[in-house]
Amino acid sequence: MGVINQNLCYFCGVQEESHQHLFFECSYSLAFIQAVSDWCKVGLPQIDCIKWWVDWRQSSMCRKKVVGVILACSMYVIWSARNTCRIEGYLHRPERLGQLVKKESISRLHNVEFKCNSSRVKQWLDDILH
């Protein structure tokens, strides 16, 4: 309809921007996801977010809540970075965005009381929050 005069990804400037490309395929987004995964020690989705989330049904409730917060923060940060790039014309390094997710996730998770039965999950939670 002529509303958008270019539809290239703002991150890489090479591929057409789509939901799938922006969140899961762009080299910039993959580097960002890797930075977050390195911190939280969880392989975050790199292909299909919904399928990945469904696969997490078997995980403990405590772990699902934590990963849900991290995933939500990650999606928000990548969308915000895309809009900042589009409007203001600059882009942080993917590692910087990973630090933003860590900071925001920890802030949100400190206000949550967890009932974890698994010592392994408790240790994981302690590791990522401190």
**Residue 85 binds Zn ion, judged by CB under 5 A:** no
CB closer to Zn ion, 30 vs 42:
30
Q: Site size for Zn ion, by CB under 5 A?
A: 5
Nearest 5 degrees, angle CA 2-CA 4-CA 9?
145
Q: How far is the CB of 46 from Zn ion (least distance, A)?
A: 14
Binding residue for Zn ion (CB under 5 A) from 11, 24, 32, 124? 11
**Residue 9 binds Zn ion, judged by CB under 5 A:** yes
Exposure string for 74-98, b = 16+ CB within 10 A, e = fewer: beebbeebbeebeeeeebeebeebb
3-state secondary structure at position 8: strand
State which of positions 16-75 bind Zn ion (CB under 5 A).
Answer: 26
Concatenating the DSSP letter of every residue in 14-51 gives SSBP-HHIIIIISHHHHHHHHHHHHHHTS---SS-HHH
Q: How far is the CB of 11 from Zn ion (least distance, A)?
A: 4
Q: How far is the CB of 60 from Zn ion (least distance, A)?
A: 34
Binding site for Zn ion (CB under 5 A): 9, 11-12, 15, 26
